[in-house]
Structure 1
Amino acid sequence: MKKAFSKEVINQLKYYVYIYSDPETGEIFYVGKGKGNRVFSHLKDLNNREKNNTIQRIYDKGLNPKIEILTHGLEDEHTALKVEAAIIDLIGKEKLTNRVRGWQSGVFGRVEVNKLISHYEREKVYICEPSILIRVNRLFRYGMSDIELYDATRGIWRIGHDREKAHFAFAVFDGIVQEVYEIQAWFKAGSTFNTRGSLGDNERWEFVGHKAVQSIREKYIGKSVEHYLNKNAQNPLKYVNIKEGS
C-alpha cells in the first residue's frame, strides 16, 4: 500500500475528505480532511488510541485499512471542514473513532429542513413570561434526542436565587429557541444526575421540569431570541422578565 502521493497528485487533489474502513467488513471507522499526504498520517499517528487500536487489529490480520478519498478538488479548508462535518453526522460519531464531531456540525452538519429555515430566517420573537434563556451551544447538535437536549439545558449552572422566579427555561442554540421547558424545581448540582463536572459546587444548580404546553412551544420554538443576548457574554444564562435581586 502506498503511503505518499506524488507532487502531481497533490496538486490535483487540493483539499479533500477521506475515510478509513475495515477491509473485511467495509465498516467506516474514521473520517478526516486535509491536503498533501495528510490521509496517510494516521498509519503512524499515536494520538488517538481507539483509532490506532482499530488499525492495529487490521494489521494483526495481515491486512491494511482501506483508505478512500471521498471527495477532492476542494479549493479551501473551510469547504473541506463543512463536508467532513456532514459526513460525520451522516454516519454518526458513535460509530466512528473520531474524537469529536465535525467542525461547527451544529450548523453545517445534518439538520432537518425546517430547523435550517429557522436558523437562516431568524424570525424574531418577544418573550412575555418570566424565563431563563440557556445557551447550549457547546453541547448542542441537530438530531440529538429529547433527553440529551433536556439534560444539556437543565444543568449544571452557576446561578443565584433569582432562578426561583423563572417559570420557563429556553434551550437556545445560536440564538434560536430549540425547546422550552416548564421548570418544576431547582436542586444542587449532582442531585438528579451525575454526568456533569463541578459536582459538589454549592453555587451550581440544575432544574427538573418538562416540556412546556404546546401553545408555549409553538409560540417560541424555531424563533430568534438573539436580540436578548450579548454574543460576547461569557455567562450562558440570561434572565428575561425577571427583576434581579428583588
Structure 2
Amino acid sequence: MKTFEHQTRTRLGYFVYLLVDPRTGAIFYVGKGAKNRPFDHFRATKGEGSKAEMIRRIRADKLEPEVHVLRHGLSSSEIAEDVEAAVIDAIGLENLTNSCRGKGVEKGRATVTELNQRFCSRPVSINTIKEPLMKIWINQTYSPTMNAQELYDATRQYWCNVGKDKRTPDADGALMYPTVVALVGNVVVMAYRVQAWFSAGSTLSTRKWSGDPNRWEFVGNALPDHRLVGKRLVDDNGNSIRGNAQGYGYLN
C-alpha cells in the first residue's frame, strides 16, 4: 500500500479522505485527518467491524482499497470535522461503513419536516408525561435517508448496561419500560412498543454486530401514532431535554 511522500504530507495539512472499493468505485468510508491517517485503516484486524470486513473482502480479490483525498489544505481539525460530517450526510450513513455521522450532527442533513419539528413543533414538558418511557438518543447513527427498518435497528441496538430489571418481565409478564422513544436532539422521531430484550447481535437486523455480546437489543413494534412522535421534549422552563450524542435514559 502506497503512502503519502514526506513533501506531500507537509502540503496536505488537514484533509478529508475517502476509502473506495476498486471493484465498483463505491465510497465505503469517509474520514478526516492529517499526515498518513488514511493508511492506518489498512492494518485492520479481525473483529474491527464492517470497515475492516470490507477491506478484507477487497484483499481477498487480490486488490487494495483506494484512498481519495476529497479536500485538503484545511486550516483546522474542526473544519475537517465539519466537511467530513457533511460528506457522510450527503452519502448517507447507511451506505457507508462509518460507525457514526461525525461531529456537529445537530447542524447536519435534515428534511424540511425534521427542521420544522425541531424549531416549531409543540413542546411537551417531561413533567407532564406519566407514561414510563425509555428515552434513546440516536444522534450519531440517525440519518434522514434511513428507511423505517434502519431507524428501528438504530434505535433498538446495541446498548450496554441495560439492567436485568429493565429487560425482564415481572410476574404478570409486563416490562418496567414497555415503550421506547427514539430522540434526535430533543425531538421524538419514533416510538416503539418493546416485546422482549435479547443479547446484542442475536436477532435479524440491517446492521452487523461483531462486538460485545453483553450488550442488548430489543424487538418490538413501531408506534407512529404515539402522542409524542414529532414533539419536542422540554423541561418546565421550556429548555430542551437533550442527552449525549448516543445514549439512553428513563422517565418515570
What is the TM-score with the length of structure 1 in the denominator?
Answer: 0.63
Partner of 1:69: 69
Tell me how far apart the structure 2 counterparts of residues 113 and 15 of structure 1 sit (CA, whole Å).
32
In structure 2, the CA distance between the partners of 1:88 and 1:140, relative to structure 1 (3 Å rule), is closer
Partner-residue secondary structure (3-state), 1:136: strand
Partner amino acid for 2:181? F
Partner-residue secondary structure (3-state), 2:5: coil
Partner of 2:189: 178
Partner of 1:45: 43
Partner-residue secondary structure (3-state), 1:25: coil
Partner amino acid for 1:82? D
> Over residues 95-154 of structure 1, what are the superposed CA-to-partner deviations in whole Å (9 max), with x where a residue is unaligned?
44x352342475455432432454467863235453225123377412333234445556
Partner of 2:148: 146
Structure-to-structure mapping, 1:13-52, within 5 angstroms: 13-23=12-22, 25-42=24-41, 44-47=42-45, 49-52=52-55
Partner of 1:136: 137
Tell me how far apart the structure 1 counterparts of residues 57 and 175 of structure 2 sit (CA, whole Å).
49
Does residue 81 (structure 1) correspond to residue 93 (structure 2)? The answer is no
Where in structure 2 are there 5+ consecutive unaligned residues?
A: 204-208
Where in structure 1 are there 5+ consecutive unaligned residues?
A: 241-246
Partner amino acid for 2:44? L
How much has 1:19 moved relative to structure 2? 1.6
Give the number of the structure whose residues are more often helix, by fraction: 1
> Over residues 147-167 of structure 1, what are the superposed CA-to-partner deviations in whole Å (9 max), with x where a residue is unaligned?
344455568854386x76879
- Deviating more after overlay: 83-92 vs 28-37: 83-92
Q: Kindly report the root-mean-square deviation, in angstroms, between the aligned alpha carbons of the 2 structures.
A: 4.4
Q: Percent identity?
A: 27
The answer to whether the 8 Å contact 1:82/1:108 transfers is no
The answer to whether the 8 Å contact 2:137/2:243 transfers is no
How much has 1:17 moved relative to structure 2? 0.8
> Over residues 27-80 of structure 1, what are the superposed CA-to-partner deviations in whole Å (9 max), with x where a residue is unaligned?
2233221112223444x523454243245356x36xx64432111222222222
Tell which structure's C-alpha radius of gyration is larger. Answer: 1
